[in-house]
Amino acid sequence: MSRYLLAAPDPAATVRLLCLHPAGSTARPFMTWRDRLGPGVDVLPIQLPGREARVNEPRIRDLAVLLEQLDGELGALLDEPYAFYGHSMGAMIAYSWARMRFETGRSRPLMVNVGACQPPGVPGTDRRTPGFFDRPDDELERMLVGIGGMSAALMSYPQWRDAAIALLRDDLALCEPRDLYGVGSETDPVDCPINIFTGAGDPIVTPEQMARWHRLTRAGGVVRELPGGHFFHQESRPLLLSYLRNLLAAASGRVAVV
């Protein structure tokens, strides 16, 4: 099994959903999605290096390097129907990965599902909230605690706190603006739907900003606003999974499970 996967692929699956986690986080929460999207859907949480069992591996700060590794290790799984769900930083990786496969003539995803992330390369938006992630560590810590991205208890343990901030900053390097595989190109949009999920109370990304993802596809997609903040994928998990279940069923020709 690939070092990027937390669970072995199901060879009997009819569609795979590859899930990419937020910056500074892990793929562990996506394990709770397995067996909850109906028969035939194989949820594959993707764990980036530098955390949990991969804590001793060097973190990757270059998006091109990461995409080549992901596609090299997991590309064989994408010969069957597949889709992406990416949250925050994970949304940027998911879209960029899909874009790379379009540009290089490889099999294309049924859809890209993005949550809690401003679209790349769209005028008037930035992949990062200006002034947010550039703040000093102590301010960044307080803001992360405020949005639910860090436990307040962690701030009492300087070594753990510093490690968490360092991980976050390295992950965010993957989201720096760049021209990679035509990322963010409105003149050459992708041909698969981009489904947009946004938290009604997200202090980092507004629903209006999220809606601009549709400028990057010619295949449309749905927009769904869910209760919760930046981490609505955990706060409103049952509702989000209900939406994804129906979207995957429709795209793969299966019957949705209510």
Q: What is the mean pLDDT of the chain?
A: 88
Output the pLDDT for position 188.
78
87-111 average pLDDT score:
95
pLDDT higher at 118 or 28: 28
How many angstroms separate the CA atoms of 109 and 212, rounded? Answer: 20
Give the pLDDT band of residue 178 (cuts 50, 70, 90). low
Compute and round to an integer the Cα radius of gyration of the chain.
Answer: 17
Output the pLDDT for position 157.
84
Question: For residue range 102-142, what is the model confidence (pLDDT) as tens digits?
Answer: 999 999 999 999 999 989 865 444 444 445 556 778 877 77
Nearby residues of 102 by Cβ (< 8 Å), 6 or more positions away: 108, 181, 190, 191
74-88 average pLDDT score:
97
Output the pLDDT for position 181.
55
How many angstroms separate the CA atoms of 210 and 43, rounded? Answer: 24
Question: For residue range 155-170, what is the model confidence (pLDDT) as tens digits?
Answer: 778 888 888 889 988 9
Whether 257 shows a pLDDT value over 60: the answer reads no
49-67 average pLDDT score:
96
Whether 99 shows a pLDDT value over 50: the answer reads yes
Estimate to the nearest angstrom the gap between the alpha carbon of 254 and the chain centroid.
24
Output the pLDDT for position 191.
93
Whether 189 shows a pLDDT value over 50: the answer reads yes
Please state, for a pLDDT cut of 90, what percent of the chain lies above it: 68
Whether 40 shows a pLDDT value over 70: the answer reads yes
Whether 96 shows a pLDDT value over 70: the answer reads yes
